[in-house]
């Protein structure tokens, strides 16, 4: 190689290196996931099989509170519950999905309706998913709190 082509290579490398570095840390976005990754604890609302759970909270309770990384996979459905998690290790929750283009395409929803009025004004206690830990990841799960405030004013004209 000539000295000129070597310096051209060096320039190319300098230009491309940052791209390569960025790429190495990027997680590829999946288009779908409809079955649990190996080792995952499974949540299935109806027809839960042996070793599976019908609520998300029951699956979380089944995880050891240690530093191990754990994954929970949730089959499609609407789960009516409040979820609290405080285990120490990395925890990932995956909702089954066939379309990762946006939240409206998600097939797993966790929903409940606790108002601050019902929890003595404590907003944390109203959350559908209460995450009291670091290292937590949630994918393709919609969270809802469907509380509605109904203000009824009774006016009496005398
Ligand atoms: C798990 O352990 C942490 C301390 O590492 C503690 O704060 C948390 O309450 C524990 N959670 C459960 C579910 O036992």
Does the CB atom of residue 65 touch ligand 1 within 6 A? yes
In 3D space, the residue among 108, 93, 105, 89 whose CA is nearest the CA of residue 45 turns out to be 108
| Residues in a beta bridge with 109 | 78, 142
Give the length of the chain: 158
Find tokens 């509170």 and name the residue: 65
Of the ranges 15-24, 52-61, 66-75, which one carries the lowest mean pLDDT score?
15-24
Does the CB atom of residue 146 touch ligand 1 within 6 A? no
Please give the pLDDT value at position 75.
98
**What is the pTM for the complete model shown?**
0.79
Joined together, the tokens standing for residue 40 give 């995952």
Query: Phi then psi for 90, rounded to 5 degrees?
Result: -55, 130
Q: Provide the CA 105 distance to its chain's centre, in angstroms.
A: 14
Does the CB atom of residue 70 touch ligand 1 within 6 A? no
- Ligand 1: distance of its center to the CA of 83 in Å? 15
Of the ranges 51-55, 113-117, 149-153, which one carries the lowest mean pLDDT score?
149-153
Please give the pLDDT value at position 65.
98
pLDDT winner (highest mean) among 8-17, 73-82, 146-155? 73-82
Does the CB atom of residue 88 touch ligand 1 within 6 A? yes
Region 95-110: mean pLDDT is 96
- Ligand 1 atom nearest the C-alpha of 61 is 13
């Amino acid at each position: 190689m000539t000295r000129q082509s070597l310096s051209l290579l060096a320039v190319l490398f300098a230009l491309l290196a940052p791209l390569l570095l960025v790429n190495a840390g990027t997680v590829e976005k999946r288009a779908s996931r409809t079955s649990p990754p190996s080792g995952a604890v499974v949540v299935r609302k109806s027809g839960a099989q042996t070793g599976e759970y019908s609520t998300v909270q029951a699956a979380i309770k089944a995880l050891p509170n240690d530093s191990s990384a754990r994954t929970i996979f949730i089959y499609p459905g609407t789960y009516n519950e409040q979820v609290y998690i405080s285990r120490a290790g990395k925890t990932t929750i995956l909702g089954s999905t066939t379309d990762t283009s946006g939240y409206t395409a998600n097939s797993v929803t966790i929903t409940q309706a606790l108002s601050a009025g019902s929890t003595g004004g404590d907003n944390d206690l109203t959350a559908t998913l209460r995450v009291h830990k670091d290292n937590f990841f949630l994918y393709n799960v919609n969270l809802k709190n469907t509380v509605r405030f109904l203000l009824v004013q009774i006016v009496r004209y005398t």
